[in-house]
């Protein structure tokens, strides 16, 4: 439950944190874009105001230059004074066209710019008319038109329009500066607020990560405690099962020993008595009846086979030679008997080692089980059994050249290998099986000396 709760909180947190981060990023982009566009618009307006002031000032300056050049030419009558007039006339035409283009783009000062261009054209026309009269009729004709005050009125109107426009441009320029300052101020405030929001989000994320780390650590501690509890329970159960298996194994060996003694004492006594009775009957019937004598001989051979079978069963149940002759001699007898029954050559390399009764019996049972498996499954041609001391341990090995098998896939219902391992482990030893298809099988086991 704590892990599920932590997972749910993590999912919920990411569902909130993801859209929040996206919203902050989008808000930062929008704020930056709005501030940039507002600043760009203010800059464009101020540039338009500057262009208008320059164009208006240039137009007025050109009109004054044209008027001054006209008067100089009319006062002197010399041709070299006509060139400045012609240049001023050409330049004023460009200035009037520039002002007309500005009027088409500037909605605020369009009327004033149109009036200024119109007044300038009229003044230029008046100056050209005066100069034409001067060239055709002389100074007297030009002076009559000059003294009508039309030019002065046009110049005053141009001057008034220029002054008004310059004043409005100054105001517009100042307002643009104030607006630019406000845009910069609000952009800075918005960016500071967004930075603060981001810092708050980062702090919240760090706090959340810290909380999650604490919850994870607590969950890991709970898992570790639960794992330790389970391991302790598994160890306790393992000890119980080990003790029970060891007890069952001891009981099994005790039962085998008891059964071997019963067979030796009871069945052995009966078979021996029957053997003696057969011997007495044979003496009494000697030469009397050949057929009866043959039956008696067959009965004697049958009793001998029963006595041998009894002896072999007893040795399998509890080898008396292990107590009387030692482990080495017992293994030699076991290997020789197996070679005779299975008709397989068994090579031995056995050292005379002294082991406790429990460990000697464990080694004997491992060799016995390994040889039984060779007879059942190996299809081997040769078997090798060895017993030697290595580093304070008694090491036994049973190797065959049979068909082998995959140790990771034991046969269903087969517990011989597991029994060998447990028997050796109960004595403080170990047991390993090495095999592969077509490469034979090797059983290795060892116990402390």
Q: For the chain, what is the HEC assignment?
A: CHHHHHHHHHHHHHHHHHHHHHHHHHHHHHHHHHHHHHHHHHHHHHHHHHHHHHHHHHHHHHHHHHHHHHHHHHHHCCHHHHHHHHHHHHHHHHHHHHHHHHHHHCCCCHHHHHHHHHHHHHHHHHHHHHHHHHHHHCHHHHHHHHCCCHHHHHHHHHHHHHHHHHHHHHHHHHHHHHHHHHHHHHHHHHHHHHHHHHHHHHHHHHHHHHHHHHHHHHHHHHHHHHHHHHHHHHHHHHHHHHHHHHHHHHHHHHHHHHHHHHHHHHHHHHHHHHHHHHHHHHHHCCCCCHHHHHHHHHHHHHHHHHHHHHHHHHHHHCCHHHHHCCHHHHHHHHHHHHHHHHCCCEEEEECCCCCCHHHHHHHHHHHHHHHHHHHHHHCCCCEEEEEEEECCEEEEEEEECCCCCCCCCCCCCCCHHHHHHHHHHHCCCEEEEEECCCCCEEEEEEEEC
- Does 82 or 342 have the greater pLDDT score? 342
Domains of the chain: 2-216 (1.20.120.1730), 326-448 (3.30.565.10)
| pLDDT digits 0-9 by tens, 169-192 | 777 767 777 877 787 788 778 878
Confidence of residue 383 (pLDDT cuts 50, 70, 90): very high
| pLDDT digits 0-9 by tens, 393-405 | 999 999 998 888 8
pLDDT at 414: 60
Euclidean distance between CA atoms 190 and 188, whole angstroms: 5
| pLDDT digits 0-9 by tens, 319-344 | 777 777 888 888 888 898 888 888 88
Confidence of residue 3 (pLDDT cuts 50, 70, 90): very low
Name the most confidently modeled range: 47-56, 280-289, 298-307: 298-307
Furthest-apart CA pair in the chain: how many Å?
Answer: 201
pLDDT higher than 90, residue 127? no
Contact present, 165 and 56 (Cβ < 8 Å):
yes
Q: What is the mean pLDDT of residues 427-434?
A: 86
Percent of the chain, pLDDT > 70?
Answer: 80
Q: Could you give the angle at the alpha carbon of 194 between the alpha carbons of 190 and 200, nearest 5°? A: 145
pLDDT at 412: 58
Lowest mean pLDDT among 227-231, 259-263, 274-278: 259-263
Percent of the chain, pLDDT > 90?
Answer: 4
Euclidean distance between CA atoms 321 and 17, whole angstroms: 81
């Amino acid at each position: 439950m704590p892990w599920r709760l932590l997972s749910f909180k993590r999912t919920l947190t990411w569902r909130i944190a993801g859209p929040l981060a996206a919203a902050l990023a989008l808000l930062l982009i929008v704020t930056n874009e709005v501030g940039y566009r507002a600043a760009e618009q203010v800059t464009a307006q101020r540039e338009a105001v500057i262009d208008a002031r320059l164009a208006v000032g240039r137009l007025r300056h050109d009109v004054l230059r044209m008027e001054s050049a006209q008067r100089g030419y009319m006062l002197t009558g010399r041709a070299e004074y006509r060139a400045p007039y012609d240049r001023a006339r050409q330049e004023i035409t460009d200035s009037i066209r520039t002002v007309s283009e500005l009027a088409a783009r500037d909605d605020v000062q369009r009327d004033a710019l149109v009036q200024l261009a119109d007044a300038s054209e009229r003044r230029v026309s008046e100056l050209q008319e005066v100069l034409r009269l001067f060239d055709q009729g002389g100074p007297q004709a030009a002076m009559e038109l000059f003294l009508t005050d039309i030019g002065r009125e046009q110049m005053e109107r141009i001057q008034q329009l220029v002054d008004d426009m310059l004043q409005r441009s100054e105001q517009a320029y100042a307002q643009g500066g104030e607006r630019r300052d406000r845009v910069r101020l609000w952009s800075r405030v918005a960016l500071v607020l967004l930075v603060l929001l981001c810092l708050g989000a980062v702090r919240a994320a760090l706090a959340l990560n810290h909380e999650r780390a604490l919850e994870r650590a607590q969950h890991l501690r709970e898992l570790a405690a639960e794992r330790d509890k389970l391991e302790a329970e598994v160890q306790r159960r393992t000890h119980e099962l080990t003790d029970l298996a060891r007890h069952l194994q001891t009981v099994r060996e005790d039962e085998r020993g008891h059964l071997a003694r019963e067979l030796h004492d009871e069945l052995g006594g009966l078979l021996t008595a029957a053997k003696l009775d057969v011997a007495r009957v044979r003496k009494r019937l000697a030469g009397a009846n050949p057929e009866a004598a043959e039956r008696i001989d067959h009965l004697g051979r049958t009793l001998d086979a029963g006595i041998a079978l009894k002896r072999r069963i007893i040795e399998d149940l509890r080898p008396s030679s292990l107590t009387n002759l030692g482990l080495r001699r017992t293994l030699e007898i076991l290997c020789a008997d197996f070679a005779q029954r299975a008709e397989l050559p068994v090579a031995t390399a056995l050292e005379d080692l002294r082991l406790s009764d429990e460990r000697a019996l464990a080694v004997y049972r491992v060799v016995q089980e390994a040889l039984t498996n060779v007879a059942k499954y190996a299809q081997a041609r040769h078997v090798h059994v060895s017993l030697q001391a290595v580093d304070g341990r008694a090491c036994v090995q049973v190797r065959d050249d049979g068909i082998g098998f995959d140790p990771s896939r034991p046969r269903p219902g087969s517990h011989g290998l597991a029994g060998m391992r447990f028997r050796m482990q109960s004595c403080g030893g170990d047991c390993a099986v090495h095999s592969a298809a077509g490469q034979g099988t090797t059983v290795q086991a060892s116990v402390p000396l």
